[in-house]
Amino acid sequence: MTAEELIGQVKFDGRGLVPVVTQDVSDNAVLMVAWANAEAIRNTFAAGHATYWSRSRKSLWVKGETSGHFQDVEEILYDCDVDTLLYRVRQKGPACHTGERTCFYRSAYRRRGKTE
């Protein structure tokens, strides 16, 4: 599938954005959630680095451009409603701006006594 084919199918929200879940291909850890617009998707396909739309800066954001912690995209999947993307990446360094490997490092709930 090309970038344009994907963009043609994605159900963007009223702001022209779609949520992107980013997952490490090495262990399936969820690294972060961000947003992409059509231009960010095109850039991701063209460059191979995860590119997002920064809602605060209102500009494209290539993850790692400043920090060097690039996300090399191995695969892009989309959900059954075509309103969420999944970037499967090879993460270079930590994904979170706090220096943590993933943005999901704090637990809000954990079932006690649960056995696997």
Q: For residue range 46-55, what is the model confidence (pLDDT) as tens digits?
A: 999 999 999 9
Question: Is the pLDDT reported for residue 102 higher than 80?
Answer: yes
Contact criterion met (CB below 8 Å) for 19 and 37:
no
| pLDDT for the residue 116 | 59
pLDDT tens digit sequence for 29-74: 999 999 999 999 999 999 999 999 999 999 999 999 999 999 999 9
Question: Is the pLDDT reported for residue 114 higher than 80?
Answer: no
Q: Provide the whole-model pTM.
A: 0.91
The CA distance from 18 to 16, in Å, is 7
Q: Residue 39 forms beta bridges with which residues?
A: none
CATH superfamily of the domain spanning 3-91 = Phosphoribosyl-AMP cyclohydrolase (3.10.20.810)
| pLDDT for the residue 112 | 84
Question: Is the pLDDT reported for residue 115 higher than 80?
Answer: no
